[in-house]
Amino acid sequence: MKKAIEKVLVVNSGSSSLKYQLFDMKSEKRLAKGLVERIGAGGPANHAEALKQVVADLGNPKDIDAIGHRVLHGAEVFKDSVKVDAKVMAKLKKLVKFGPLHMPANLGGIEACQKIFKGVGNVAVFDTAFHQTMPDCAAMYAIDEKYYKKMGIRKYGFHGTSHKFITQEAAKLLKKPLSKVNLVTCHLGNGSSLAAVKGGECVDTSMGLTPLAGLVMGTRCGDIDAAAVLSIMEEEKKTPAEMDKLLNKQSGLQAISGVAGGDMRDICTKAAQGCKKAELALEMWAYRVALYIGAYNTVVGGADAIILTGGIGENSAEGRERVVNRLGALGIKLDKKVNAKTRGVVATISTKDSKIPVIVLPTNEELMIAKDTVRILG
């Protein structure tokens, strides 16, 4: 009889760092976590070396049953998590163009694990997979179809593992079968996205071909008129790479507020001190979140709940207040007391007489990856 999968290692392999968590799947408890930094930049030479450090940190474990990997992009090829074999790896390598920064690191992490943990199954879990149920009317861009056919230009969406986790948890909390639950899930962190979830499946999401689209984020602009991008490139003679940096790294909350890094806490502090730019940044941020909540409530045909998660969604009472105060038209009122004291725990922050509850629900992407790993291998 096949041994049950008990210990699962979750690996999140980035371009210069490798994060890991070890789970006991009987209790779904985390046994260990850690981070190896400066890969290829003074620390370990590559992901295989980084992984050797992880193995040493974990005390040379012999009982890891399976490994789950966070992978940025599955495009339309992978609609669900998948066990990685040679065929799958070949397909994954063809998707590097969708994430030239992240994908080589993600795949490097998988290859390192295949070498070091011989005979242990590896599962790829994609940030995009949860959104693969979007209908064409939500996923396609209104441009010549040849760009979709030739280059795969369409909306994919990201943070899918987080949206999936909070969708499953919300269904349990609301005591509804997953197939009957309608939600607007809001992952609000440094990078942020919303998902419209109908019958437990994603029907729209705010990020697009890349994570640049949608909400105002820490350093990303979110939605912008594409013609504005062209004007700036023309006026300042910027290359695509320079424009990419401007929109992804030098925009968003950081650009509006002038607060380096665009961290929500710093911006709230500045706004409280009377900084008008910081105040505008917060209002633009909240406005865009509320705008999408309203739209997605319509898309799902009326949500059973609005779920907030991510660093800001879980922890920032001020950020949440600014969003929820804009949802009056949906019959939602903020419970100020509960909101003020809620940090990193499950809580309903709307008043009891609100038409739709607003629920803070901490995400756990690593546990979701571990659970998917068990499901796929089990």
Closest-CA residue to 159 (of 167, 151, 147):
167
Tokens for 174, please give them: 């609301």
User: What span, in angstroms and rounded, lies between the C-alpha atoms of 371 and 339?
Assistant: 30
Whether the CB-CB separation of 83 and 374 falls below 8 Å is answered with no
Q: How far is the CB of 65 from ligand AMP (least distance, A)?
A: 29
Place of tokens 């959104």: 131
Q: How far is the CB of 164 from ligand AMP (least distance, A)?
A: 16
Quick one: CA torsion of 79, 84, 89, 93, rounded to 10 degrees?
50
For residues 68 and 310, which CB has a smaller minimum distance to ligand AMP in the complex?
310
Among 91, 238, 245, 265, binds ligand AMP (CB under 6 A): 265
Q: Centre a 10 Å sphere on the Cβ of residue 176 and count the other Cβ atoms it contains.
A: 16
**Which window, 128-136, 285-293, 308-316, 365-373, contacts ligand AMP (CB under 6 A)?**
308-316
Catalytic position from the list 65, 127, 263, 304: 127
Give the side-chain half-sphere CA count within 13 A for 149: 3
Place of tokens 């949206």: 163
Rounded to 5 degrees, what angle do the CA atoms 134, 127, 225 make? 65
Name the residue with the smallest CB distance to ligand AMP: 311
For residues 160 and 310, which CB has a smaller minimum distance to ligand AMP in the complex?
310
**Which window, 2-10, 117-125, 144-152, 260-268, contacts ligand AMP (CB under 6 A)?**
260-268
**Which window, 206-214, 262-270, 299-307, 345-353, contacts ligand AMP (CB under 6 A)?**
262-270
**Which window, 113-121, 287-295, 300-308, 312-320, contacts ligand AMP (CB under 6 A)?**
312-320
Q: Which residues contact 115 (CB under 8 A, 6 or more apart)?
A: 48
For position 307 contacting ligand AMP by CB under 6 A, the verdict is no
User: What span, in angstroms and rounded, lies between the C-alpha atoms of 287 and 285?
Assistant: 6
Hey, CA dihedral for 327, 329, 330, 336, is it positive or negative?
positive
For position 249 contacting ligand AMP by CB under 6 A, the verdict is no
For position 310 contacting ligand AMP by CB under 6 A, the verdict is yes
Q: How far is the CB of 190 from ligand AMP (least distance, A)?
A: 3
Q: How far is the CB of 234 from ligand AMP (least distance, A)?
A: 33
Rounded to 5 degrees, what angle do the CA atoms 219, 254, 362 make? 60
For residues 271 and 312, which CB has a smaller minimum distance to ligand AMP in the complex?
312
Whether the CB-CB separation of 349 and 359 falls below 8 Å is answered with yes
**Which window, 6-14, 69-77, 304-312, 367-375, contacts ligand AMP (CB under 6 A)?**
304-312
Q: How far is the CB of 360 from ligand AMP (least distance, A)?
A: 12
Whether the CB-CB separation of 144 and 200 falls below 8 Å is answered with no
Closest-CA residue to 309 (of 156, 138, 183):
183
Q: How far is the CB of 314 from ligand AMP (least distance, A)?
A: 7
127 is annotated as an active-site residue:
yes
For position 315 contacting ligand AMP by CB under 6 A, the verdict is yes
- Could you say which residues in the range 167-196 bind ligand AMP, by CB under 6 A? 189-190
Residues that bind ligand AMP (CB under 6 A): 189-190, 218, 263-265, 310-312, 315-316
Supply the residues annotated as catalytic: 127
